[in-house]
Amino acid sequence: MFNILDEPWLTVRPAASGPAEEVGVRQLLLEADRFADLVVDLPTQKPAIFRQLLLPIVVDALGRPANAAGWADRFRAESFARDERERLDAYFDEHRHHFDLFHPDDPFAQVPGLRTAKGETKGSALLVATAATGNNVPLFASRTEGDPLELTPAEAARWLLHTHCWDTAAIKTGAVGDSKVKAGKTTGNPTGPLGQLGVVMPVGRTLYETLLLNIPFGQALLGDDLPQWKRRDAGHPLSCATPAWESRAPRGLLDTWTWQSRRIRLIPEETAAGLRVTRVIVAAGDRIRLLPDHEPHTAWAVDTRKPTAKSAPPSYRPRRHQPGRAAWRGLDALLAVNGTRDERTGFQTSELLRSLAETRERLPSAYPLQLELTGITYGNQSAVIEDVFFDEIPLPVAALDPDGIVYDSLLEAVDQAEKLANAVNLLSADLRRAAGADPIPWDKGQRPGDTLLHALDPLVRRLLTGLRTAGEDFERSERGLEAWEQRAGREAWQVAEQVLATAAPGVFTGRTVTRDGKDSTFRLSTAERGFRSRVDGILTRRTAARRATAS
């Protein structure tokens, strides 16, 4: 037996100084104000643990705030009230039997007795996103599929939740009792639900604050919106404790959070090191027919072009993160709290950030809000994991006001960074043309603009942190932007000098290129002059300060 409510399987970092602790769910939630954060094996485990377990317990036991005022009251309390802890404790006692990882009749988030027609099982590495299994062989993996992987009960619990959220797509093992099995397999399986999103998770100073930051207020829960542990009876119309599965729309927030995208069975055995999970069965699970508009953990790309049907609404799709692209480069989407920002294709931020925009005036202006962004890039028909995305950025609460000074300042700085990168790329392109070569294609090779964006990354993050305390102080915001422009200009010229220093022989005299019947001469002097002009036009405060000093 291993009951995840009481057994220590989650690692937490104390809010005060001290070593990390191992706790169960009961202790973590009842003492959530005492812990700063979860410590996980892989960043993508964190949203899985919150969504599959911690958030639905809190919402199912205590309800979700009805409005902004109710949410702010609970947030300012900084910990669960005495009566809330009592209700949580009662909830744990009432549903404790659903949370045993190895219960013979009701194993947590699994199907009891799940089996294949031939009694086959697979190695536990099938659950572990970083382990080699089948076609999924991570680069520089230290083990092969043939090496047995023994998971402790704690590790197995974490990877079980991760699999429900992020599992790869394509063919899955066919289970006895699944009417959709063909030739011992099921095909057409999508990835886990989080694999289709660009997850955006607000994080506070303590786990209590993080829990509240990830619970949207508003509409009351529907009667049939239940967490998966309340849908385990075989006779329940939405039972997730049988091999059968269906394609359907989620009933609401709790159903979405605890979505059982796979039918899984952990197979434990006693080893010399103790109880370990060495074999598993992972079969097809429920498929989300349509991503719900109440999905709170992703921003959206919105196609606002005129629809073909007169009554058709705009098309929404999750905005996924791009590997190698810093999170701050997507601030235009994260700060789109009022809906779309473009005439044709715009953005809409996550429901959680829209909720925070409504409550920003009830929070301290300098509150140290963090955003954690996670995602997975799949390859080969989404059957293998190619890359795991993780980034975190500080976000000033005042930036959630689209009419505020900080909002405009941040978007201006991000736009300047992108334009500076483009200016460096144009410099490189002009010099290559002067040498008789073609510019570096935008989708191939390393362009100097990428080098500049990497150099600007810490400067943007410093600006984000500094603007937390600016509030609506225009002068303070301007001083921050002036400092940013001075440093950004120096970085741009450092990269530009590297480009100029490596220019090919012959660029001094240059070459004349005919395009569309028009002659253009490219040489070192015109390329450098064009770059200088572009930088001056981008960093207007820096340019004005330099000219004022010169005069």
Q: Determine if the pTM surpasses 0.85.
A: yes
For residue 534, give the 3-state DSSP assignment.
helix
**What does the alpha-carbon distance between residue 216 and residue 543 come to, in Å, rounded to a whole number?**
44
The CA distance from 258 to 49, in Å, is 10
Residue given tokens 């931020």 in the structure block: 349
pLDDT at 292: 79
Contact 228, 260 (CB under 8 A): yes
Q: How many residues does the chain have?
A: 551
Q: What angle do CA 88, 90, 94 make, to 5 degrees?
A: 115
Tokens 């390393």: give the residue: 446
- pLDDT at res. 313: 65
Residues 285, 8: Cα–Cα separation, whole Å: 28
pLDDT, position 108: 97
Instruction: Report in angstroms the alpha-carbon separations of 2 from 41, 450, 527.
Output: 20, 49, 68
The DSSP output letter for 52 is I
CB-facing half-sphere around the CA of 283: CA atoms within 13 A: 36
CA distances, 500 to each of 123, 427, 454, 504, 533 (Å): 55, 9, 19, 9, 16
Residues of the chain with pLDDT under 50: 140, 343
pLDDT digits (tens, 9 = 90+) for 344-356: 558 889 999 999 9
> What pLDDT, on the 0 to 100 scale, is given for residue 469?
86
Contacts for 133 with CB less than 8 Å, ≥ 6 apart: 122, 123, 125, 126, 145
pLDDT of residue 140: 46
CA dist 168 and 190 (Å) reads: 7
Tell me the C-alpha distance between 503 and 205, whole Å.
49
CA distances from 207 to 6, 200, 203, 256, 355 (A): 18, 16, 8, 21, 19
Q: What is the pLDDT of residue 432?
A: 81
Phi, psi of 271 (to 5 degrees): -120, 180
Interior/surface letters 388-403, b for 16+ CB within 10 angstroms, e for the rest? bbebebbbbbbbbbee
Exposure string for 419-443, b = 16+ CB within 10 A, e = fewer: bbbebbbbbbbbbbbbbeeeebeee
Q: Which two tokens stand for residue 168?
A: 């790869």
Give the model's pLDDT for residue 409. Answer: 93
The encoded tokens of residue 352 equal: 């959680």
Q: How far is CA 243 from CA 50, 103, 262, 266, in A?
A: 25, 17, 9, 14
From the list 13, 44, 36, 12, the residue with the least C-alpha distance to 390 is 44
Output the pLDDT for position 93.
97
Distance CA 175, CA 196 (A): 25
